[in-house]
A = this chain, B = another copy of it.
Amino acid sequence: MLAPASTQLKNAFLARTAALLLEKQQEIVEANSADLALAVAAGRNAAFVDRLRLDARAIANLARSVGEIEALPDPVGMITSGSRRPNGLEVRKQRIPIGVIGIIYESRPGVTIDAAALCIKAGNAVVLRGGSEAQRSNRILAELLREALHAAGLPADAVQVPQSQDRAAIDALVSVPGGLDLVIPRGGTALIEAVQRSARVPVIQHYQGVCHLFVHAAADLEKAARVVVNAKAQRPGVCNAVEAILVDAAIAPSAVPKLCAELRAAQVEIRGCERVQALEGAAVVPATDADLGHEYLDLIVLMRVVDGLDGAIAHIRRYGSGHTEGILTEDLGAAQRFIAEVDASCVVVNASTRFNDGGCLGLGAEIGISTSKLHAYGPMGLEALTAEKYVVIGNGQVRT
């Protein structure tokens, strides 16, 4: 446990990491090229190869992101609440490291740096288990992190990268009771379900985002169209992009054509329910059951006409993934009911689902977006990588 590591040592580690990323840029690019070549040879698609790529620009961004984490306040020791009891006891809650955190992730080798930087800044040790497709990139980044720890006078073993690449190694990592203090799986459904199945330690899952936007009868249609297009098309491959647009039947005759026209102008393919098809005809692809609750991660969106707020809430309860859900309305009562009744890590009113992000919500860097309710629901920044203990200071008080 790094509990007693000072802010100064932790920041020295971060500064050294940022510097080493720039110094070793050429070596990192070379190791990454080997991973990329194997991925291309294995016939992986462009999106996959893109997630895997670490070029000079990506490395510079990583170094900048580590510098930003260095600049964030140290969460360890932060007092989050306090009171003085009638008997004079001073009671406070104070942030402490969690302990040893395992991160299991796929593709993006940059996670190796981001996750280690955040975990160490929060006083934790970290076990990083990336995917086999990025093993050469991850290995050199891990060496770099351990070199930076050593240079800062911290134990190099605070970052561990198991070399074994089979699934059994993941099972072994998460199935020892008392081994890890927390495991965070980030990635596809299969990975998360496998971890959930074998875990004997606490799990916070970063599950897929089947995000909805409901265009309510009292929506401002100009605003709604702008938000819908942004939520789908600004960056379609990420978990907070919208995957389904629900349109209130009361305004469908005007709203559906307008929304469809603007989405089409942004190159988005629309899969429409029968009521959307009735309004748009062959201009939309007929939606099937497979489109309900589907995460496209692409320029494709489901559009469905629903009967009012009740219909929208019922749809989201059934098909949402607890990630990000939004309503577009100028009606305060409808917004309030939506906020109260929709269960998601982030409920958004009159804004893009893309704002469910640590940076946008003011947390600074994040390790991902939790769809688990306990401990941290939504973007997980430094504070979510700590726990809180009670501290009680007295002057000889006893209980009577």
Contacts and interface: CB of A to CB of B under 8 A. Distances in A.
A117 interface: no
Interface in A219-240: 220, 223, 226-227, 229-231, 234
Nearest to A341: B4
Nearest to A379: B390
Contact of A392 (B220, B349, B397, B399): B349
Contacts of A348: 391-394
A89 B226 CA distance: 16
A228 to B, nearest CB: 10
A24 interface: no
Contact of A227 (B202, B344, B356, B398): B398
A152 interface: no
B374 A378 contact: no
Given A227-B398, A360-B399, A351 B392 contact: yes
Interface string A257-297: 00000000000000000000000000000000000000000
Contacts of A393: 335, 348-351
A389 B360 contact: no
B399 A355 contact: yes
Interface stretch (A35-43, A52-60, A91-99, A162-170): A91-99
B398 A202 contact: no
A375 interface: yes
A188 B1 CA distance: 28
A156 to B, nearest CB: 21
Contact of A91 (B91, B227, B361): B361
Contacts of A229: 398
Interface residues of A, number: 70
A85 interface: yes
Given A83-B362, A351-B397, A390 B200 contact: no
Contacts of A378: 389-390
B202 A391 contact: no
A29 to B, nearest CB: 29
B347 A389 contact: yes
A1 B343 contact: yes
Interface string A363-400: 00000000011110111000000011111111111111
A177 interface: yes
B361 A387 contact: no
B362 A85 contact: yes
Interface string A153-166: 00000000000000
B4 A355 contact: no
Given A89-B355, A91-B361, A200-B197, A387 B377 contact: yes
Contacts of A356: 390, 392
A10 to B, nearest CB: 14
Interface in A70-106: 77, 83, 85, 89, 91, 94, 96, 98-99
A343 B250 CA distance: 58
Nearest to A348: B392
Contacts of A202: 202-203, 372, 374
Interface string A23-55: 000000000000000000000000000000000
A394 to B, nearest CB: 3
A94 B196 CA distance: 27
A348 to B, nearest CB: 5
B340 A77 contact: yes
Nearest to A178: B196
Given A91-B361, A98-B373, A227-B398, 5 more contacts: A196-B200, A348-B394, A354-B399, A355-B397, A374-B374
6 contacts: A83-B362, A346-B389, A350-B396, A355-B392, A373-B387, A379-B390
The 7 residue pairs across chains A and B that have the minimum distance between CB atoms: A351-B394, A230-B398, A223-B396, A373-B387, A346-B390, A354-B399, A375-B375
